[in-house]
Structure formats: structure tokens, C-alpha cells
Structure 1
């Protein structure tokens, strides 16, 4: 019987065949992995340019370009002279109009670097190379920055842009609607009052690399000016990361807003069930597979479910993001760990004195190699482009002395409280 079925001809060309699966599906309502880009895409599409990976890359590019412009405004950083109107126009254009096609170039670089922020740096260096002034200072792209310096500012700008797109207060309909409108407006206003903080203080928040390269610059003042120039609030006390307390404040406010909406959804669902409100019928819509007369309060049901999912994520992030591990102990006696710390100032000083490809040279020297204190000192000595005094200063560095302005920050704490 099985053989007969297997050998039976089909009715027409492939009428009984299972369609072949195509793994390369275009993104649409049916192929989206999640409902935000699928079923509810029309409602969320305005946020794609902000919260997509393209949006993150766009903000990273903006921060990198603005930082290079800031360096050109610091008199002591003579290696990055003030830019002409033409050079600034190029940076302004990249900072404000970085396209999705250019973002794909970043992703192409990332397949090699396996590092998203470094990929942005390499693409920008390539683009800067097309303009003579910028080509001369490409190695100051990402100067003295840790990835978190770029990321924390990018995330703050993303959240700031998204909050600015909030819709107006809901329309009221009677006293009950007015209550919900007032409650929602209050939470919206509280969310709008949350400051968006940023930091630009290097790998441990003490401007270590900055001060090794340019000890006479007030880097805290520079960082404050730069962060506030992006429309963000400056956080003067940070570690490697911006502590993210403001994100928790924002997400808690959004969670409360969502809870009020959930209350609204349930009330509306109840009013409809009790026939206080009647839903309009729409031609072609089906409320039940078996009851043709039924009209479900589906929008309120979907809203309640999605608000629950959103709050689960927001509450987790609000609880998790402000908590981080201790900073590593910079006085650790493990040689390789110490040498890894000191690779940052060596690379930064190499950039100041225009040594070509400092990051790449250190990467080639350290990756897959046994690095000792002696071999690191030999590496410094072989940097023929460095002045003797710069070499000597690098040789004298230890993890215990490479602390930037940590002591000064501790002394100045009272004025920030």
C-alpha cells in the first residue's frame, strides 16, 4: 500500500509537493523574527533609524566625528590643527547623514575585525583619507577612547532621540478618560525630565591615556565640553563605563507609563464586555473562526500582552544596567596583565608623535606572542619616531603610576555633591 501511494502520479505539476524552503527571505510581516518588525511594523517603523543597528552605527560615527573636531579645538593638541571649513563640512556631513549603505561597509569591516567599534574607526579612517586635512590626522580617530566612551554616548543619544519622538497626551473622553490622560501625562513628563548622561574619560574613567600624551590639557573640562556639546549631561564620576543609573530611571518611568496603559487596556476590555462601549465593525474583519457575529477587543488585548513583554525587559535592564563588576586591580603583579594595561599609553603616545598604525603595530607585537617586561621595553626603544624623553617617560610607567587624575577626582568630589 505504501509503495502504491509513493508511486502514484500527482495531480498536475507538483500539486502535492511541499514547497521548497527558501532560507533567504526578505523581511516582511511574515518573515520577521519578532512582532516589532512584523505584525506591528507600521507602529514601530519610525524608531528603526534610532534603535536599529544602523541607528547605533550612525550615532557611533557622529560621536567619533565630533570627538575629532573637539581635538582640533584644543590648543595643546598641535598635531590636530584647527580644521578648515571644508574639513569640518566633511565631518559634519558624516556625523549627520551617515547612510545605511555606508553602515553596510562598517559591517563588512566587522567581519574581519570581529569588533564593532573598531570597524567604525576603520571605515572613518578610509573616508577621512579622501580629504587632505583629515588624511593627515587619521590616527587621531578614536584618540584616547575606549569603546565604552563611544558606546555610552551613542546609547544616550539613541534614547534621547527616541524620547523626543513621544506622542502628545491621549485624547480624553469623560472623567475616566481624563484620569488616564492625566496619569499618562505625569509619567511622560517624569520620563522627559530624566537627564541623559555621557562620559568620555577613557578606559577606567581617569583620563590615563589622555594625560600621558598631553599632560597639560584639562581633560575633564574637555570631556565636559564635548559631552554637553552633544546635548547630553556630563557625568564626572565614572569607571570604564557610565554607570547607567539614568537609564534605570528612564526605564522605570516607562514601566510605570506602561502599567497605566495596561490598567487602561483592562478597563476598556471590561467596558466592551459589559457593552458600555461598542466596537465598530469593519468589513472583512473576522472576530472568531466559529462565531461570525463576534467582534473582539483585540487591540486592547494585544496592547496588554505587548506591554507585559516590554515591562519584563525594561525591569530587567533597569535592575541590571546600574550593576557592574569591580574594576580590575591596576596594582596586580601579574606581568602579562600589567603589560596589557600599559599597552594603552604606549599606543596613545605613538599616535601623538605620528607613528604610523600604532594599534596595528602593538597588536602584531602582542597577539599570540609571549610578552615580557623586557620585550615591551625593547618595543618602545625600537620606536624610532618617538623622542628620547617620550621613550623614557613610557619606560618609567607602571600600573601603579598610570592612574590619570584619579586622586584629583577624589579630592574634588565635594564640589559635585
Structure 2
């Protein structure tokens, strides 16, 4: 099939058009990847059966081998006959094993135990392995840019008009802080993605026939093989409570909005009449089919455009929270598009990082734009300094001066010094205060200091998160039996009547559990 026969531009223009990006995301967002994650959920069940001796090692080996050999193509061909994708997977596996072993395939599960858990798991790993590292790379680029220009004066703008000076580094540091906060929010939502092994209506009906005293413990055990936890109250319907995915989607959309806002700000600063920034482009890049001189901020425009396309998907996520009774199918088709959101979001993070890394900063243009209106922008410091000298009606006096200065083509300070009363107050000001009135480029407040402090803070936070993500990946890639020993001991004790069943067995904080496993590895 030709890629240009596809309908979705994400496939042929963005995700599919960049081989490196495609290969990094394909193991998580593709339909073939979703099949692999479903297979992992089903095999986790068999591993638990084997360890508890609910099925023999021989039968477990047959099943695990069959799951490893079945292909997505086989399953989707079988679905054409059954009309049910999970039952198609089960059928394909059971054909490859003995009748006795086949009884254990998908035992106690319902389809959404498999699919919802697989969905949470693939997004959990996609965020850990790809998206969060890409966001941290972007954050590092912004930190470098902010620190580099911590002292580069720039006119601040409100309502599109000149306000008072800042530094360019300060403008970028604001995005460092906003992005850093969104990254932490996204990581929190990732940690809170949940799975379920609770059966057709979430009440453990089928599992209760085997181990009524410890259904929740068994669910936690199977999910532990995947590095996951059930809902905090270990309660569900046929589906995992939808709020966990909704929260993740909101965290993504909120972060996406920060990227779009940054891209839009940079785009405006690239305008010909402002020219403070310029996007780096190759010598062969064409900006117009008819105007050879054009150099457009294309990357920044595309990021905002993709945000516009995917931001409304949040409405669908909110609507998908509604599922009648124990479950209906009205969220099935709509949820299939969720991987597109993560793909578009990460694509924009990578593209924005690349564009920001090559951004050309014209400090001379920043100085020129600041000085072009310097006679007006000293109005605020003049008013504040006069007020501090107890000058009556300081704000109103400076406001009138500003209007007169515009009408007469003079500077505010020229008119202020011509006024005997104001001149007396100005003479009382400290030398460094008077310097600000003559050179507003010095009126940047705490821009430089806040820039460096914010960058230092997020540098530390980013390093901590990078280290944790690497450790989590390492511990989950190694299935040491010690990880599950406590749960197995509890289950066996309950089965043997040596311990009382727990009426309420709350899910544990996932990160705390992961960190406990990290300590086990060190021991």
C-alpha cells in the first residue's frame, strides 16, 4: 500500500514521513503495537497461573510459546470471521496449544481487562520511553537559550503594544517554568494510569469461582508483572475507570497549549517589522511559490496549526467518560484515535526543539525596538520614583506628560525636567534611579535574576526525572521474582487458610512500588 493512499495526514506527512520519528513511536502507537501490548497482558495472566500452580509449567509453556508465535495478521484475519478482536486473539492461540492448555487462555478475563490494561500500559511506556524524554530535551534547549540571553534587553509587550523592558532570557524562562510544570503534571498522570483484571462487570465474578478470598490480590499480582496498579479502590465496571485516561489527555493538551503559545510568540517576533528572531532554514528552503525572498517561520506556524487540530480532541475524551451502566460501546471507536493525539504532541515537541535549537536571536533588533519607544516606556519608572518621593498625584502627572510628549514629539523626561516641581523631585533620586530614566534598557527589574533562578531549579528537576525514568525502565525490564514475592506469599497464605482475606485492599502508589523494586535490585 502506498503511504499517499492514506487519508490521515499524520500518517503520510508527519509521523510516516519522518523515518526516525516513525521508528521511535511505532512500537507504541501502531495497531501492531497495540496487539503486542494485549499479548503482554494475556501472558502476565499465564505467568501468575504458573507461579501459583493453577496450571502446570508444561501447559503454561505451551501457551506462552503460542502467544509469542501468533501474529497480528493472523488475529485480524480471524476477526473477520468472529467480529471480535480479543476472541480472535484467543482463538489463534488456542489452536496452537493442547485442549487442556487452551482452557487457561484468557481464563477469568473479559475483553476490556486485556484492551484497557494494554492501552494504559502502552501509554505509560510511550510517555516514559519517548514523550517525556523529548519534552525534557526541549526543556534543556529552552534553559540554555534563557541562560544565554538572561541579560539581553527586550521590550516587553502587552496587548501587542510596548510595555516595559524585560530580557529575552526572562521571556524564555517563563516558558521553562510553564513547560516544567506541565512535564511534572504529565508524569503524575502517567503514574496514575491503571489496569484491571476484574472480569465482565468488574466484580471479579469469574475469578471468585477460583479464589473468592483474594480476587483483588490476584489482580494486583497480574498487574505487577506489567508494572501497573488497579484503581485505588480496586473497583471497576467492564472498563477501567475512564478518568485516568482523561487526566492523561488533559495533561497532554495542557502541555500542548504551552508549546503552541511558545511557537506563536516566536512566530510573532519573526515578523518583518519586529525581526528580533529568525528561524534557521536550509539553503534550499522555499518560502513562497512566487516571492523568492520569503523566509517564513514555518515550523512555529505548523506547531500552532497541529495544536488547533488536536486541541478539540479533549472534548471527545470528556465525552468518553460516559459509559452506560457497566459499559456500552459508544467510546470504542472514538478511543481508537487517542494514539494520534500522543503522536501529534510528541511530533510537535521534537519539531519545536529542533526549531528552537537553531533560532537566530537578533539582539540589535531587540535594542532598536526597545529604543524606538524609550521616550514613552520610562513613564512607569518615572511615576513609581515620583510616588516614592511623595510627589502628589504622581500617576496622573506622568500620564499627562506622556500625552503631551506624544503630541509635541518630545520625550517625557525632557518635559519633566522643564517642570520646576518635578525637577525638584527628580533631583532627589539616587544616581542609579536617574540612570534608568535616561536609559530604559536598565529598567529590567529582576529579569536576569529570575531567569537564572528558574533555569537552575528546572535543571535540577529535569535531572531527577531523567534519572527516575531510566531506573524505572531498568527495573521493569527485569522480572525478578523478588518483585512479586510479597503478593505471592499473601495469596498462598489466604488460599491455605493461614491468613484472613482483606475486605478492602487499596491499590498502592505506583511510583512508591517502583522505588521499592529499585531497592530490591540494589539489595
Query: Above 0.5 in TM-score?
Result: yes
> How has the CA–CA distance of structure 1 residues 259 and 216 changed in structure 2, closer, same or farther, with 3 Å as cutoff?
closer
Question: Contact (CA 8 Å) 1:248, 1:318: kept in 2 or not?
Answer: yes
8 Å contact from structure 1 (residues 262, 307) kept in 2: yes
1:221 to 197, 217, 222: 217
Superimposed CA distance per residue, residues 168-223 of structure 1 (whole angstroms, 9 cap, x where no aligned partner): 242021322232123112211211112121111101111112223x2555222101
Q: Deviations over 1:357-376 (max 9, x none)?
A: xxxxxxxxxxxxxxxxxxxx
Of 259, 284, 294 in structure 2, the residue corresponding to residue 261 of structure 1 is 259
Residue 268 of structure 1 and its aligned partner are, at CA, apart by 0.8
Give 2:279's aligned residue.
279
1:210 to 207, 220, 224: 207
Task: State which drifts further: 226-235 or 36-45.
Answer: 36-45
Do residues 123 (structure 1) and 122 (structure 2) align?
Answer: no
2:230 aligns with 234
**Matches of 2:309 and 2:249 in 1, distance apart?**
13
Write the distance in 1 (CA, Å) between the matches of 2:505 and 2:124. 27
Q: Does 1:180 align with 2:168?
A: no
Q: Which runs of 5+ in 1 are unaligned?
A: 1-25, 130-134, 329-407
Deviations 1:275-314 (A, max 9, x none): 111233423322111211001111111111111222211x
**Residue-by-residue CA offset, 1:92-124 (whole Å, 9 max, x unaligned):** x776x668xx11111111111111111111122
Q: Indicate conservation of the 8 Å contact 1:211/1:219, yes or no.
A: yes
| C-alpha contact 2:63 2:102 (8 A) present in aligned 1 | no
Q: Partners in 2 of 1:300 and 1:281 — Cα distance?
A: 12
Task: Provide the rounded CA distance (Å) in 2 between the counterparts of 1:87 and 1:253.
Answer: 40
Q: TM-score, normalised by structure 2?
A: 0.52
C-alpha spacing 1:303/1:415, structure 2 compared with 1 (3 Å) = closer
**How is 1:142-221 mapped onto 2 (pairs within 5 angstroms)?**
142-164=106-128, 165-166=130-131, 167=134, 168-170=136-138, 171-172=141-142, 173-174=145-146, 175=169, 176-194=171-189, 195-212=192-209, 214-215=210-211, 218-221=214-217
Does residue 302 (structure 1) correspond to residue 297 (structure 2)? The answer is no
Measure how far apart 1:126 and its partner are: 2.6
Task: Report 1:101-140 matches (<5 A).
Answer: 102-129=71-98, 136-140=100-104
**Deviating 4+ runs (over 4 angstroms):** 86-90, 413-416
> Secondary structure of the equivalent of 1:128?
coil
Q: Show CA shifts across 1:43-86 (max 9, x none).
A: 454222211111111111111111122122335x3xx12x15x9
Higher radius of gyration, 1 or 2: 2
Q: Is the 2:278–2:297 contact (alpha carbons within 8 Å) kept by the matching residues of 1? A: no
Describe the SS at the equivalent of 1:137.
helix
Change (3 A) 1:142 1:217: farther
Higher relative contact order, structure no. (Cα contacts within 8 Å, ≥ 6 residues apart): 2
Q: Corresponding residue for 2:44?
A: 66
Q: Which residue of 1 aligns with 2:311?
A: 311
**3-state DSSP class of the match of 1:197?**
coil
Which residue of structure 1 lines up, in the alignment, with residue 368 of structure 2?
none
Question: What's 2:386 paired with?
Answer: none
Deviates more, 1:216-225 or 1:138-147: 216-225
Query: Deviation of residue 322 (structure 1)?
Result: 2.5
Q: Deviations over 1:325-348 (max 9, x none)?
A: 1238xxxxxxxxxxxxxxxxxxxx
Query: Unpaired runs of 5+ in structure 2?
Result: 147-168, 328-500, 509-523
**Structure 1 Cα separation of the partners of residues 235 and 201 of structure 2:** 10
Contact 1:202/1:240 (CA < 8 Å) preserved in 2? yes
In proportion to residue count, which structure has more helix?
A: 2
Are residue 27 (structure 1) and residue 2 (structure 2) matched?
yes
Counting only pairs closer than 5 Å after superposition, residues 374-385 of structure 1 correspond to structure 2 as none
Post-superposition shift, 1:414? Answer: 9.3
- Residues matched between the structures, number: 295
**2-structure distance, mates of 1:278, 1:152:** 45
- Deviation, 1:88, is 4.5
Instruction: For residue 127 of structure 1, give the secondary structure of its aligned residue in structure 2.
Output: coil
Q: Report the TM-score when normalising by structure 1.
A: 0.65
CA distance in 1, matches of 2:60, 2:229: 27
Q: What are the superposed Cα offsets for residues 225-246 of structure 1, whole Å, 9 maximum, x if unpaired?
A: 1112211121201111111211
